[in-house]
Structure 1
Amino acid sequence: MENDRRNFIKKAGLAGASLAAGFSLPATSNPGPVTEANTHRAQQSIIGPYGPWLDRVRSSELPSLSFRNDSFSDVAEWKTLALARTRERLGIPVMGEIPRVTIHATHRYEGLLLEEVSWQLPYGRPTKALVLKPENASGKLPGILAFHDHGGNKYFGWRKITKTGKDQHPLMKTHQEHYYEGMAWANEVAKRGYVVMVSDAFTFASRRVMLEDVPESHRSGLTDSDPENPASIEAYNQWAGAHEHVMAKSLFCGGTTWPGVFLAEDQMALDILAARPDVDKNRLGCGGLSGGGLRTVMMAGLDPRIRCAVCVGFMSTWTDFLLNKSYTHTWMTYVPRLPEELDFPEILGLRVPLPTLVLNDEQDQLYTLPEMKRADAILQEIYQKAGASDRYMASYYPGPHKFDQPMQQEAFAWWDKWLKN
């Protein structure tokens, strides 16, 4: 039984690296000498001969709303146009008024005051979140929205990056060891003098699609009984991974997109965080790894209340997704028609000149290094053109997809620099 559990954890870690469960990563191999066959392979794509053709069609010139175009010189005018079009492409649903927040429990742990809270959106079950801050803090503190990852694990949400002092699920202990070098990074940044909120993202944990809420014929024979059992969690996550294309298609049919929905929900979380009496609404930041990095791209790119952003392990180009890596990524990533107007890093670039840090892993399985560096160059060009080169930084760390302690320390220092000083 213990060996089975360890094997599952190992498999879950690999599935997490691919974000959307159900896809395996290619093995790393020596490319060998340069030959005609190798050259042919270099021209191959994950959609065969259609990849290079489609990329040529898409990238024959700069995207129409790229700030890198010579036709754009005024940042404010460009942002007005580009933001309006991006919001239109996302199909962001209207959430209405800020909901009433219910505090379910408060307690202290390792110098922090923790609040377990929830709120009811116009649809779905209540959203659960954890708020953390120094227990002896007074006055208004800067606030951070800490975004949990995807990890191929829809069963968990805010528990992925926090510790509460209560019994930690063994899968979350392993999860934090695998991605965060054993750290609950939301706790660690709160200790530095922040009010940190970690809310469950759309389709995760409290916001996940419950089996009992779909027709029995679509449950693959599963039930919600004994939900905390690792075997039940594995079965649910496999089902949820396979269900992603169903959700994405239904969202398209409803006139919205997956990024549009999770952005709307994250903006509501930001509304709630900013309205707290212990938070300085003029000093707000956000960040996260992987799926949390994707949420950072959308939130920081489209909401100027985010004064400082840290995107970890989610930066590349549409070309990289198109030719090489779309199969490693969740349906949460894609926005129809937007690549014609903005390359992927340019969504985050919509926040220029606000401070932005991008942290990359050089052996990240989810991207190719050349395209990560091309995305970096695009963001550098945007910030340079806007006269704000000092407010953008990208760093590269050895190793696979992760947010380890050295990366965390750089992220924390970046937030300190721009939200405290």
Structure 2
Amino acid sequence: MFAPGTAPRPSAIGGYEDWPSYLRTHPRHIAETSAGQELADALGVPAAPESAALSTAVIESEATHDGVTTSRVSWQLGFGPRTRAWFLRPAGATGPLPGILALHCHAGIKSVGAGRLVDRRLADRQVADLQQCLYGGRPFATWLAMQGFAVLAHDTFSWGSRRFNLGTPPRRTAAVVEGRKALWREAGVVPSETELYDAAAAAHEDTVAKAAGLLGTSFAGMVAHDDLAALHVLAGLPGVDAGRLGSVGFSGGGGRSLVLAALSPLVRSFVVTCMMTTYRSLVPAYLDAHSWLLQTPGLSRLGDYPELASRSTADSFLVQYALADDLFPEHGMRDADAVLGARPTGRYTGSFWPGGHAFTADMQEEAAGFLLQQLSPVPLTTARQNGLS
């Protein structure tokens, strides 16, 4: 009952009111190694509904431009909005191709997810700006398909099609947005609906992380849940060799790539770009530079961040560091590289690049070449070597 004249308190998890019941009826993710299971337990990763994702996956549309066939794909997980994704591969490719899960970054932009990785003709101004600032001006997933891969880029938990409904934001989020509106008014700026949503979503991430903790999971664990489901969708798509799967991501997407590889043996090779350091290097000055994707309570009990990468069963992985990255101090990146390089397995390759927090065209070339070498024992006759720039 509500007091006379008072409005009901808005939902703090708009569009995800079925999330708590889903977690009550779905057990924890079962990894195939003890190292992976420890990570799944630390993040509270629910079991991804692999069969449900696969059975509900549909190709909604398909078009071919500049030698790449792009399909719009969607599937329904057990809670929240329907997941939408792009499936891209070289036009006219014959035979199964190595499959890559392209994982979008965080960037403080949640109104759009994987859309920032696809052909710019599908992009609005905001997405074009993200591609220009963070991805060397390239639609990375589209470009990666040109190199001979079958690529799936999906919206993950709380981004794009999987966003929360913040039309009536919860009270703390609303207060932050009102403050932001005041600053915009003072500056003479009229924000777009997208900008208003992203301002609300940035503040709301704290609320989502609180809800996840209360429900026995974590923000990063829920993202991993969606990524695991997408990996199984990729493995089941036509023309994909399920025995040659990899993942790649920049920034928050790099962290997602690392976690996914540690949780699933389907990932045979992976790339982490601009998302590697030691925990010690983040304290005290760099803590506020990062989201809940990196800073899950209790995760450090499993070891330092670079040690998490070694929990995967992948045959190989590449970590790319940006020396002028303003989100990570150089000494933290150097220390992480030393930890990874000291492992006797020989699976790790590290590379240091000039410049700031961005996945430059040259870094993309290295990442694609690495994945092609690791996942393709013979040259792909369908691969296009020209870039999209």
Q: Is the 1:129–1:158 contact (alpha carbons within 8 Å) kept by the matching residues of 2?
A: yes
Q: CA deviation at 1:239?
A: 1.1
Structure 1 residues 406, 259: closer, same or farther in 2, change over 3 A? same
Q: Is the 1:98–1:272 contact (alpha carbons within 8 Å) kept by the matching residues of 2?
A: no
**Candidates 158, 162, 166, aligned match of 2:114:** 158
CA-to-partner distance for each residue in 1:149-192, whole Å, 9 max, x for gaps? 111101111111111634x2011111111111211111111012
Q: CA deviation at 1:332?
A: 2.0
Q: How does 1:8-407 map to 2 (within 5 A)?
A: 80-96=33-49, 97-99=51-53, 100-163=56-119, 165-166=121-122, 168-212=123-167, 219=174, 231-351=192-312, 354-382=315-343, 384=344, 388-389=345-346, 391-407=347-363
Q: CA deviation at 1:318?
A: 1.2
Task: Please name the residue that 1:72 is paired with.
Answer: none
Structure 1 residues 401, 81: closer, same or farther in 2, change over 3 A? same
Moved more, 311-320 or 209-218: 209-218
Q: TM-score, normalised by structure 1?
A: 0.75
Opposite residue 292 of structure 2, the aligned amino acid is W
Aligned counterparts of 1:81 and 1:217: Cα–Cα separation in 2 = 40
CA-to-partner distance for each residue in 1:336-369, whole Å, 9 max, x for gaps? 2221221111111112562000011000011110
Moved more, 186-195 or 319-328: 319-328
Q: Extract structure 1 runs of 4+ deviating beyond 3 A.
A: 212-222
Question: Secondary structure of 1:104's match?
Answer: strand
Q: Is the 2:37–2:263 contact (alpha carbons within 8 Å) kept by the matching residues of 1?
A: no
Opposite residue 178 of structure 1, the aligned amino acid is C
Q: CA deviation at 1:81?
A: 3.5
Aligned counterparts of 2:129 and 2:146: Cα–Cα separation in 1 = 23
> Percent identity at matched positions?
33
Q: CA deviation at 1:317?
A: 1.0
Opposite residue 108 of structure 1, the aligned amino acid is T
Q: TM-score, normalised by structure 2?
A: 0.81
Q: Is the 1:114–1:164 contact (alpha carbons within 8 Å) kept by the matching residues of 2?
A: no
Structure 1 residues 113, 164: closer, same or farther in 2, change over 3 A? farther
Q: CA deviation at 1:231?
A: 1.9
Task: Please name the residue that 2:369 is paired with.
Answer: 413
Moved more, 322-331 or 307-316: 322-331
Number of residues of Structure 1 aligned to a counterpart in Structure 2:
331
Structure 1 residues 350, 106: closer, same or farther in 2, change over 3 A? same
Structure 1 residues 216, 241: closer, same or farther in 2, change over 3 A? closer
Aligned counterparts of 2:291 and 2:170: Cα–Cα separation in 1 = 23
Task: Please name the residue that 2:187 is paired with.
Answer: none
Q: Is the 1:109–1:165 contact (alpha carbons within 8 Å) kept by the matching residues of 2?
A: no
Q: CA deviation at 1:320?
A: 1.9
Q: CA RMSD in A?
A: 1.9
Q: CA deviation at 1:321?
A: 2.4
Which runs of no fewer than 5 residues in structure 1 stay unpaired?
Answer: 1-78, 223-228
Which runs of no fewer than 5 residues in structure 2 stay unpaired?
Answer: 1-31, 179-189, 378-389
Task: Please name the residue that 2:24 is paired with.
Answer: none
